[in-house]
Structure 1
Amino acid sequence: MTFDDGPYQYSWDLAKSLNAQGIRSTFFINGNNFVNVETDKLTTSEGEKTYMEVIKHYYDMGHEVASHTYEHKELQGLSEQEIEYQMNTESDIIFKAIGKRPALMRPPTGSYDANALAVLKKLGYSVVNWDLDTNDWRAHDFTQEKAAYQEMDKDTSGTVGHITLEHEVYDQTVNELIPWAIEYVKSKNYQFVTASECIGVEPYQ
């Protein structure tokens, strides 16, 4: 279970809820997308927090903090310098929050080219996309979102796992899809692990 585009107003309580259920997820975050994490604040079940505190909270709750670029820029077609700016600026923010630099990144929209891949490799990143896309950002259609998970019904005995894509910035995702998906995945006897555990790489540099 992986989340893109945060942090946002639901992130603090989502991270806490997942932790309470013994679930560790990976959050691919931006520094300046839905919010500016260095200046904006939010109200949580535990009072007002800064978004830098939210990033630390992910980590404290046992989740992985990974990069989704600083400004949610599609990497395909960007110059080496532009890619480095997006990645290094986000890395600095994450380091400031948790004292570690991410080794996992997800390209916005999942798109990248050979140049981007070479730059990311040079910067020490593993690229992590997904194989089950809920499309929760597109139609906000709960039936459609559930259908993505129900592709697991086709799994064979050789299937070792899936990386699902959700966005923590949508109320329906956080409050409807995720509670349903947790029960559904458990019914399939899968275990929830982080992205780094799923693909066998280190989460931090």
Structure 2
Amino acid sequence: MRNRGRGTGVRRARGRSAAALLAVASLGLALTGCSDNAVSPRSARNDALDTKALAQSSGAAGTDCQKAKCIALTFDAGPGERTPQLLDTLKEKKVHATFFLLGKNHVEKYPDTVRRIAAEGHEVANHTWSHERLDKLSADEIRTELGSTQEAVAKLTGRKPVLMRPPQGRTNKTVTKVSKELGLSQILWSATAKDYSTNDSALIKKRILDQADRDGVILLHDIYDGTVPAVPGIIDTLKERGFTFVTVPQLLAPAPPKPGQLYRP
């Protein structure tokens, strides 16, 4: 009888473990809404090599991520007062990044920084106007959130962004539809320091280095105190590990970013 009881307990424990794993998996899906159609940068490149997209693409400024160990450095929710210091670092390290900019209180407040980001060869991208969760908005509200930043950036740089990152990574079919209308690809990430929760630059660096992988997309924020000081060490260490830093379009090349498509490493 005791053995049968232990067997029942084991089965119940396994059941609880399976339920816990299912809950974790469900949470992961919830973070991006309905994202079963997500495409990885590597898959996008491989598909492009078998289609006419190869001939149509301008390539990745001499970087072939089929051969190189590429990784994309991205910054959300700026620009801010620390962004010029970050741009100085990137210029010194000869690294180009992708900046997902907020319109309200950021693009509006730091127009010269936006112009500098574009002038120095970084990819200027869209992170909405006011950081509202897009999956909770109507199509018209989503259109306003994304479209306002599109227009603000174009006014300063002469070019509308082709990439966007949904706040918190939350997306759904309506977000995808509006993004497609506006010519925006949706870009998620594979490495995050959760730098909104700490100003410890050493910890931010460690978290990114622990998660960095080939064809990955690093998510940082240039508006927090601990982040910009962590960037030189992140760049130097990853270069020592053989990584080549590219922008998100370069990571996808020869595939051009597809409007509405969700990309996730």
Instruction: Give the TM-score taking structure 2 as reference length.
Output: 0.66
Tell me the equivalent position of 1:47: none
Could you tell me whether the CA contact under 8 Å between 1:161 and 1:190 is conserved in 2?
Answer: no
The alignment partner of 1:163 has SS state of: strand
Pairs within 5 Å for 1:61-140:
61-140=120-199
Change (3 A) 1:113 1:9: same
How far apart, in 2, do the equivalents of 1:150 and 1:124 lie?
Answer: 33
1:115 partner letter: T
Within the alignment, does 1:199 sit opposite 2:239 as a pair? no
Pairs within 5 Å for 1:155-166:
160-166=214-220
2:227 partner letter: T
How far did 1:36 drift? Answer: 4.6
Could you tell me whether the CA contact under 8 Å between 1:101 and 1:204 is conserved in 2?
Answer: no
Tell me the equivalent position of 1:181: 234
1:191 partner letter: T
How far did 1:13 drift? Answer: 2.6
Larger Rg, first or second structure (1 or 2): 2
Q: State the 4+ residue runs in structure 1 displaced beyond 6 angstroms.
A: none
Structure with the bigger percentage of helix: 2
The alignment partner of 1:73 has SS state of: coil
Could you tell me whether the CA contact under 8 Å between 1:136 and 1:173 is conserved in 2?
Answer: yes
Tell me the equivalent position of 1:46: none
2:162 partner letter: A
Say which is worse superposed, 166-175 or 7-16, in terms of deviation.
7-16
How far did 1:77 drift? Answer: 1.9
Change (3 A) 1:143 1:22: closer
How far did 1:204 drift? Answer: 11
Tell me the equivalent position of 2:91: 19
How far did 1:152 drift? Answer: 4.8
Answer 1 or 2: higher relative contact order, Cα 8 Å, separation at least 6. 2
How far apart, in 2, do the equivalents of 1:203 and 1:169 lie?
Answer: 27
1:113-150 Cα shifts (integer Å, max 9, x gaps): 12111211222111111000111112334454233223
Pairs within 5 Å for 1:51-70:
51-70=110-129
1:71-109 Cα shifts (integer Å, max 9, x gaps): 111111210000000111000000011000001000111
How far apart, in 1, do the equivalents of 2:150 and 2:197 lie?
Answer: 28
Change (3 A) 1:185 1:36: closer
Could you tell me whether the CA contact under 8 Å between 2:199 and 2:225 is conserved in 1?
Answer: no
1:28 partner letter: F
Instruction: Give the TM-score taking structure 1 as reference length.
Output: 0.84
How far apart, in 2, do the equivalents of 1:68 and 1:152 lie?
Answer: 23
2:251 partner letter: C
Q: Percent identity?
A: 32
Could you tell me whether the CA contact under 8 Å between 1:104 and 1:127 is conserved in 2?
Answer: yes
- Runs of 5+ consecutive residues of structure 1 not aligned to the other structure: 41-50
